[in-house]
Amino acid sequence: MSHFDNKVKALVAHAYANAPAIKQQMDDAGVSPDDIQTADDLVKIPILSKDALVEIHRNNPPFGGFLTIDPADLPRIYISPGPIFDPQPPSEAEGRLDAFKYVGFGRGDRVLNTFAYHLTPAGLLLDEGLRACGATVLPTGPGNTDLQIMMATSLGATGFVGQPSYLMTILDKVSDMGMTAETFPIKKALFSAEPYTPTQQARFEGEWGMKTTSAYGTADLGFIGYTKAGVQGFVIGDHVLLQICDPTTGELIPDGGQGEIVATIFNDAYPLIRFGTGDLGAVSPELIDGKYQNLLGLFGRSGGAIKVRGMFLHPNQLDAAKNFIPEIDKLQAIITRPENKDVVTIQVVLKEGGEDEEIANKLIALAQNAARLRIDEVVFVEEIDGKRTIVDQRDWD
């Protein structure tokens, strides 16, 4: 990790001097900037969990004491569940175009951008990356599949960015219309927000002749890595340091071992140090091209949060909704995936039993407001199996 040592040392010194939240984080642990001389020294700083980040933001709005620059210099401010206001720095991190360049996006490409453009960063970040490569963006956003297909065929769209399940939906409809790989123009795709399965990859790259990649990132960190042919897992950009840690103790796990993915982002404007993503993974002991970390894979979550349609659904979001409705005794969200589409069903046990349409509608509204995620159905039951607030029953392949 020696190639990260100087960057880590400089980041910590800068953050300690300019970000009150980082200073508090370190002071509470009895750690000074002089104690952090190498990347491995970061273990002296406690992991910052998403729940803790939410609490810090709540107590010190609007940026929690992490922003080191004048807010007037921010080009955009996003919001993620919590709520947390995520500031976009004036200049993007190095390496942010690596995934786009790997797929081959460039001048002459017309690309369907099916990520949402409002509130969260995905749509605009993809838009900016594509335009920086010289491509022309078709800002379609999610849904309106018939219109997406019409635009792709009429304008000769060569690229797609979005969720792989949505491209599957488009191709299913395209196939029903009698189009083939020879007549449908899209040949480049960048995915994110959900797993990219081998079955999907075989269909896109084999049957339809596309070049594809899947980007890994979070709302707080942005895109940090991408898949590449011949590489297991993800190539990680040099604007972030990933460490694999014991979810309980925060101690480093040797390279190759599984644990929680803990990220330190080299973003001087909004530094996050030892941020616990909640994802489980492993990092290879070998660097790619002597520079880039290799995240070998994602192996689930260390906490109870589940990503649904690109958004995290947290147990505490459902608990918060439940607390507003005293008639509810217990609830549980069941996530299924019929026909490549995530479906969220909430099972509810009422204290007095029975069913209540008014309670169902109120719960849907509260849950959607807390998680910004559509709830498909509320089902009243007599009892709930298991102790988990969220049960993921999706089959990804």
pLDDT tens digit sequence for 231-277:
999 999 999 999 999 988 889 998 888 899 999 999 999 999 999 99
Angle between helix 20-28 and helix 2-18 axes, rounded to 10 deg: 110
Whole-number pLDDT of residue 302: 67
**Phi–psi pair at 282, nearest 5 degrees:** -145, 145
* Helix, strand, coil percent values for the chain (each to nearest 5): 30, 25, 40
Residue type, 180: T
Whole-number pLDDT of residue 268: 94
CA distance 180 to 78: 39
**Phi–psi pair at 293, nearest 5 degrees:** -70, 155
Mean local confidence (pLDDT), 352-365:
83
**352 alpha carbon, distance to own chain's centre:** 39
Long-range contacts of 279-285 (CB under 8 A, 24+ apart): 280/247, 281/233, 281/242, 281/244, 282/244, 282/255, 282/256, 282/257, 282/258, 283/242, 283/243, 283/244, 283/255, 283/256, 284/232, 284/233, 284/255, 284/256, 285/254, 285/255, 285/256
Whole-number pLDDT of residue 94: 54
Angle between helix 357-371 and helix 315-323 axes, rounded to 10 deg: 140
Beta-bridge partner residues of 101:
none
Whole-number pLDDT of residue 324: 78
- Strand 136-138 and strand 110-113: pairing? parallel
CA distance 334 to 341: 14
What percent of the chain is modeled with pLDDT above 70? Answer: 96
Whole-number pLDDT of residue 260: 92
**386 alpha carbon, distance to own chain's centre:** 27
In tens, the pLDDT along 110-154 reads 999 999 999 888 999 999 999 999 999 999 999 999 999 999 999
Whole-number pLDDT of residue 92: 63
Long-range contacts of 171-180 (CB under 8 A, 24+ apart): 171/203, 171/204, 171/208, 173/145, 173/146, 173/149, 174/149, 177/149, 179/153
CB 315 within 8 A of CB 371: no
Whole-number pLDDT of residue 397: 67
Closest CA to 208 of 180, 168, 227: 180
What percent of the chain is modeled with pLDDT above 90? Answer: 60
Burial group, residue 150, by CB count within 10 angstroms (0-12, 13-18, 19+): exposed
In tens, the pLDDT along 304-344 reads 677 787 677 777 778 777 777 888 888 988 999 887 788 89
Greatest mean pLDDT among 73-82, 89-98, 234-243, 364-373? 234-243
Contacts with 43 (C-beta within 8 Å, 6 or more apart), sequence order: 243, 245, 250, 251, 252
pLDDT at residue 64 tops 70:
yes
Whole-number pLDDT of residue 393: 87
**Phi–psi pair at 243, nearest 5 degrees:** -130, 145
